[in-house]
Amino acid sequence: MTMRILLIDDLPDSVEVLREELTKELPGCQCVIVGFDQAESSLDSHNPHVVILDVLQGTGADTQPTGLNTSKYIWEKKFCPLVFYTAAVDEVGDEAHANHPFVCVIKKGSNSEKAVLARIQQFAPQINALEDVGREIRWAMNAALREIAPRIFERITDESKRGDALTRSARRRVAASMDYALSTGDPCLMAWEFYLCPPVVEHLLTGDIIRKRDGDKKDPASYAVILTPSCDLVKDSTRNPKVAQVLVSQCKGPERLLEDLNLKNVSKWKENHTEKVLSLLRQGYSQSCLPLPELPGEFPPMTADFRALQLIDLAQIGASNEEYVRVASVDNPLRELVAWAYMVAAARPGLPDRDFDAWAKEIIPAASAEAK
């Protein structure tokens, strides 16, 4: 892969040695130097894999931390791995996201070029992986043009509607392509990779995880899972939600799952107990609850309890001062699993008490005769 690097500095000559070092050590590297006045346009035209950014512009009393404004633009509009390369490292505060794994701060000075090179080389595997994702997206777009366009042009004569239909189709194909590994149960996926945190869709969806705003983040009892169908929760410029309240399943700790497996109070854990847990996890749900894996940094391992249901006012779930905050959404097929597990638990037909022993004695001889 040809790595594209953009150096942004108010004194281009001061980073020429760095540019030469990167060009020498990274074969095929495209390294461009621009000033702060060209930063935003160069981010668009060069589309860099990595940005190396100075912080201060000017000298003496006229010095301004222009690079911090540029970093905000990169964070919000053109995010990519970012190296603050400056003599004024103290100017890089928390608002610059310097604790992010794709952001680092390196002080200019003797042999600092080597430090920048080493950091970019550490970024390289992730950059290559993201470049592969970009190619996958472009392939999906190409497929939409190649395979769907003839049908659209045949059935839609209005040019503007053709464009809208093609856009919708391309988005759906890209989403389906990106969802392939998830929907086929790629064994390399971590359990928490099905979460979308922060959520992508603005309105609530089935399977969303909410938390009491004043609740303990480490306590499963602070959380609940949305069970109301997503179609009733849509909110956009043309539609309002069809419901004023949402049905949620209260969360509990993993011990709630053990209760369904009759393992809550076992005196000694055995290998077959572990197999029972694994069997349930492979199925995805138990008779009355759904296991939810930990989302590191957000919430602990939990269990959605379908016997502990509650109605919550939709207006009380939000991102500012509402009683509940929306923590994470879930990706398919986990969203489908939430809906299915609740349906199985809540909508199963009643099972009256009967003489099952006698019934079994009727079936077993028939099975034996069939075997003969």
> Which pLDDT tens digit goes with each residue over 249-306?
999 999 999 999 999 888 888 888 999 999 999 899 998 999 999 999 999 999 999 9
Per-residue pLDDT, 194: 85
Query: Is the same domain home to 211 and 306?
Result: yes
Under the phi-then-psi rule, with left for phi > 0, alpha for psi from -120 to 50, and beta for the rest, what region is 366?
alpha
Query: Is the same domain home to 204 and 321?
Result: yes
CA distance 262 to 351: 20
- Pick from 124, 148, 179: which residue ends a domain? 124
Query: Is the same domain home to 110 and 211?
Result: no
Helix (H) or strand (E) holding 298: none
Phi, then psi, of 50 in degrees rounded to 5: -140, 140
171 within a domain of the structure (yes/no): no
Per-residue pLDDT, 371: 52
Query: Is the same domain home to 222 and 319?
Result: yes
Query: Is the same domain home to 211 and 334?
Result: yes
152 within a domain of the structure (yes/no): no
Per-residue pLDDT, 214: 94
Query: Is the same domain home to 343 and 196?
Result: yes
Query: Is the same domain home to 117 and 9?
Result: yes
Dihedral in degrees, nearest 10, Cα atoms 194, 195, 196, 202:
110
Query: Is the same domain home to 234 and 104?
Result: no
Per-residue pLDDT, 348: 62
Instruction: For residue 100, give the CATH number of its domain.
Output: 3.40.50.2300
- HSE-CB at 195 with a 13 A cutoff on CA atoms is 21
Please report, as a single letter, which amino acid is at residue 5.
Answer: I
Nearest Cα to 329, choosing from 192, 186, 218?
192
Tokens of 134: 């970009």
Q: If you search the block for the tokens 């390399």, which residue do you land on?
A: 188
- Pick from 66, 98, 124: which residue ends a domain? 124
CA distance 278 to 177: 29
Query: Is the same domain home to 199 and 343?
Result: yes
Nearest Cα to 342, choosing from 297, 295, 284?
284
358 within a domain of the structure (yes/no): no
Tokens of 135: 């190619």
Q: Which residues of the chain have pLDDT under 70?
A: 180-187, 348-351, 367-372
- Pick from 124, 149, 174: which residue ends a domain? 124
88 within a domain of the structure (yes/no): yes
Instruction: For residue 228, give the CATH number of its domain.
Output: 2.30.30.110
67 within a domain of the structure (yes/no): yes
3 state SS of 69: helix
Please report, as a single letter, which amino acid is at residue 166.
Answer: L
169 within a domain of the structure (yes/no): no
272 within a domain of the structure (yes/no): yes
Nearest Cα to 83, choosing from 57, 43, 45, 55?
55
Q: Kind of pairing, strands 82-86 and 103-107?
A: parallel
Query: Is the same domain home to 242 and 336?
Result: yes
Per-residue pLDDT, 159: 87
CA distance 181 to 162: 30
Query: Is the same domain home to 100 and 248?
Result: no
Phi, then psi, of 352 in degrees rounded to 5: -70, 155
- HSE-CB at 349 with a 13 A cutoff on CA atoms is 2
State how many domains the chain has: 2
Q: What angle do CA 31, 138, 236 make, to 5 degrees?
A: 110
Query: Is the same domain home to 214 and 321?
Result: yes
Exposure class string for 118-157: b at 16+ Cβ within 10 A, else e? ebbeebeeebeeeeeeeeeeeebbeebeeebeeebeeeee
Q: Kind of pairing, strands 103-107 and 195-196?
A: unpaired
175 within a domain of the structure (yes/no): no
Per-residue pLDDT, 255: 92
Structural domain including 236 reads 191-347
